Amino acid sequence: MLEPMTGSSNPQKNPPKAVNVGPWSFGGSQLQVIAGPCSVESKEQLLTIARSVRQSGATILRGGIHKMRTNPNSFQGLGDSGLPIVSDVKKELGLPVVCEITDPRQIEGFLEHVDFFQVGSRNMYNYALLKELGTIDRPILLKRGFSALIEEWVSAADYIRQGGNQNVVLCERGIRSFEKITRNTLDLAAVTWVKQNTDLPIVVDPSHATGIPSLIPALSLAAIAAGADGLIIEVHHQPEKALSDGHQALTLEAFQELMLEIKRVAPIFNRQLEAHLHV
């Protein structure tokens, strides 16, 4: 049975609600680092990346199978045929996995293989999808629409929670502005505001926010300082050959270095990265 609705848009400060994904918890003192490729391309690719990011300390694996691409002729992901790959890699490494869901009709297949369902930025206003996700008992990673008001984003979480599924984690991934050097404008004030004014855990995606790998390490630390409960970072063993968004992926080595920095810095913000205890 799901818990009764809490009402995330409640203006008074709510005690943070912990959301569990596999053995991990979002919203308490743990810091979660989700890492992996933009798109799942093959089992070999996913396994190579997953082994490395797990070794570096990532706690959850990311990998898209249904991609939302502007151009209908761009690579759209492997689709549901990618699910067994995700499932195999997850079992082999013991890492929970997050995949983006883009259609209510994918829910059944996802329930069998995917630990954490991501609603992408383009679907934040897809209330039909959100309502369906409110009826299941699986944690949801709800990305901010790239032009969504904070208020609309928190209300989108309520579309899920009113159905009974309280397990929503927000993800700030940059908003659209006039600035062109960065792909989007990372809004870390939104992270601090969400922590102070809602009961929702929140993570930050510096990869989509900036689109520039060299900016990702410093902004990951800044996100932790701003109060984020975790990070989601695109990593690829061969960024230049990736089928989507390779230009913004960290290499395996750059991710490893970043994780060392995160482990060094997180404790001063009272955050523990516990993955190394388990690997």
Task: List Cα–Cα distances, 195 to 47, 228, 271, in angstroms.
Answer: 34, 8, 14
234, 239, 237, 243: which is closest to 209 by C-alpha? Answer: 234
Please tell me whether residue 218 binds a copy of itself under the rule CB under 8 A. Answer: yes
Q: Give least dist CB 125 to a copy of itself, A.
A: 3
- Nearer of residues 41 and 132 to a copy of itself, judged by Cβ: 132
223 touches a copy of itself by CB under 8 A: yes
Least distance CB 45 / a copy of itself (angstroms): 24
Residue 192 CB, nearest approach to a copy of itself (Å): 4
Q: Is 110 in the site for a copy of itself (CB under 8 A)?
A: no
CA gyration radius, the chain: 17
Buried b (16+ CB within 10 A) or exposed e, 132-143: bbbebebbbbbb
Question: Does 262 interact with a copy of itself (rule: CB under 8 A)?
Answer: no
Of 133-172, binders to a copy of itself (CB under 8 A) are: 145-147, 149-152, 155, 158-159, 162
d(CA 102, CA 67): 8
Q: Is 75 in the site for a copy of itself (CB under 8 A)?
A: no
Stretch that binds a copy of itself, among 21-29, 110-118, 164-172, 184-192 (CB under 8 A): 184-192
Answer positive or negative: Cα dihedral of 109, 111, 114, 120.
Answer: positive
Q: Cβ of residue 184: shortest distance to a copy of itself, in angstroms?
A: 9
Chosen residue from 1, 12, 72, 277 binding a copy of itself by CB under 8 A = 72
- Least CB distance from residue 54 to a copy of itself, whole Å? 25
Among 60, 175, 250, 259, the residue binding a copy of itself under the rule CB under 8 A is 175
Applying CB under 8 A, which part among 38-46, 67-75, 81-89, 245-253 lies near a copy of itself?
Answer: 67-75
Binding of residue 182 to a copy of itself (CB under 8 A): yes
Binding site for a copy of itself (CB under 8 A): 9, 68, 70-72, 102-105, 122-123, 125-128, 145-147, 149-152, 155, 158-159, 162, 175-182, 185-190, 192-193, 195-196, 209-210, 212, 214-215, 218-219, 221-227, 264-265, 268-269
